[in-house]
Structure 1
Amino acid sequence: MGLTNRQKEFFLFIKNFLDEYGYPPSVRDIAKGMGVTSISSVKKMLDRLAEAGIIKKDSSKARGIELINRGVPLLGRIKAGTPVFSEENIEGYVELAEKFKNTQNLFCLKVEGDSMIDKGIFEDDTAVIKKQPDINEGETGAFRINDEVTLKTFARKEGYILLIPANKRYQSIRVTSKDSFEVIGKLIFVLKDFN
């Protein structure tokens, strides 16, 4: 898509606003939400997003913004193996089947590695994650450990957390109170590319 970080921030603001309220933001809503004092700066940013082909603008309407692609954002790669850092950069969008109408709080990550193969999760699969701050025992999810991101099954032990792979060649990752740890979200399903 080739957007700058600031353009991505504006696009995500518009998408999140639309998901939350069911209608697009006005130029003033965007200015307020993005902390911009100049309405003309917002209009210029909207022009750039329209040129990039990700929004349509109708200047005759106060809320005349339409997203071209309302798919689930593909944010990069997640290691199913040893954790690696995964930047939240939008690389594209994944269109989900019609039955998945509510895509709010969903995002996708491409899987790297083979530590989850016994759960049927392979390299280059697309993991669809629901962003949430907690996860239940035995659920698989995306986790950030000391600024690295991994896909594993969650278990809580006395005094620590265990992130368990689904491949006997890999050891579980033990997370203690000394580690920086965050639940990014729960794995909802995996998309496979059979080409």
Structure 2
Amino acid sequence: MGLTGRQKEFFLFIKDFLDEYGYPPSVRDIAKGMGVASISSVKKMLDRLVEAGVIKKDSSKARGIELIYHQGVPLLGRIKAGTPVFSEENIEGYVDLAEKFKNTENLFCLKVEGDSMIDKGIFEGDTAVIKKQPDISEGETGAFRINDEVTLKTFARKKGCVFLIPANKRYKSIRVTPADSFEVIGKLKLVLKDFN
């Protein structure tokens, strides 16, 4: 992208604001959010971002900023296909999925570790593309957080209980009890194979 550290901070502030509110920030929003007293300094920074080719700016609108730089889908670390492990949401890089998905909003990627999903063709080193969503249907595979650990499994409900089912006979299903902290992170949309 060729931005300085400060330019990158401004760009990421605009992107995060847009993601959170669904519309771009005003110049005043940016000044407040970035701790800048001078409106003219913000306008100069926006001009630099336009020159860098990462935003478009329509001066006739109060919120006339449009992002034109596309980094791809963030790779947020690793997910165990085996025993759940904590996944720190640090962006390790980006995966270009523009050819595979018309809309990449709400998508993120995790590198697969372990072998508990091999019968579904998901192997260590593969990249799991997950769509963030709060619920999932019976029989669908997804990413789940259980007691602050993240795992890739198939969702099942039996006799009122939730189970996370592996696709390898060597592993047992994980039963989610009322004492567990449990969250559906999202649904598995695609697996990218690692041929290295």
TM over 0.5: yes
SS of 2:54's partner is: strand
SS of 1:16's partner is: helix
Structure 1, 120-129 or 56-65: larger mean CA deviation: 56-65
Q: CA RMSD in A?
A: 3.5
Q: Is the 8 A contact 1:144 1:150 kept in 2?
A: yes
State how 1:49-64 maps to structure 2 within 5 Å.
56=54, 61=59, 63-64=64-65
Instruction: Specify the alignment match of 2:76 in structure 1.
Output: 75
Instruction: Specify the alignment match of 2:136 in structure 1.
Output: 135
The 1-side partners of 2:14 and 2:116 are apart by 34
Larger radius of gyration: 2
Instruction: Specify the alignment match of 1:93 in structure 2.
Output: 94
The 2-side partners of 1:120 and 1:129 are apart by 16
State how 1:1-195 maps to structure 2 within 5 Å.
7=9, 10=13, 12-14=15-17, 16=19, 20-21=22-23, 24-30=24-30, 38=36, 40=38, 43=42, 56=54, 61=59, 63-64=64-65, 66-195=67-196
- Amino acid corresponding to residue 131 of structure 1 in structure 2: K
Q: Is the 8 A contact 1:142 1:152 kept in 2?
A: yes
The 1-side partners of 2:166 and 2:174 are apart by 8
The 2-side partners of 1:56 and 1:97 are apart by 17
In the TM superposition, residue 89 of structure 1 has moved relative to its aligned partner by 1.3
Change (3 A) 1:192 1:11: farther
Q: Is the 8 A contact 2:143 2:188 kept in 1?
A: yes
SS of 1:89's partner is: coil
Cα deviations across residues 83-127 of structure 1 (Å, max 9, x unaligned)?
000011111111014241211111111111111010000111111
TM-score in terms of structure 2 length: 0.76
In the TM superposition, residue 65 of structure 1 has moved relative to its aligned partner by 5.4
The 2-side partners of 1:56 and 1:9 are apart by 11
SS of 2:19's partner is: helix
The 1-side partners of 2:180 and 2:141 are apart by 20
TM-score in terms of structure 1 length: 0.76
- Amino acid corresponding to residue 85 of structure 1 in structure 2: F
Q: Is the 8 A contact 2:79 2:110 kept in 1?
A: yes
In the TM superposition, residue 60 of structure 1 has moved relative to its aligned partner by 8.2
The 2-side partners of 1:104 and 1:59 are apart by 22
The 1-side partners of 2:19 and 2:140 are apart by 26
Cα deviations across residues 124-176 of structure 1 (Å, max 9, x unaligned)?
11111110000001000000000000000000122421100001111111111
Change (3 A) 1:160 1:72: same
- Amino acid corresponding to residue 158 of structure 1 in structure 2: K
SS of 1:10's partner is: helix
The 1-side partners of 2:95 and 2:38 are apart by 32
The 2-side partners of 1:158 and 1:40 are apart by 61
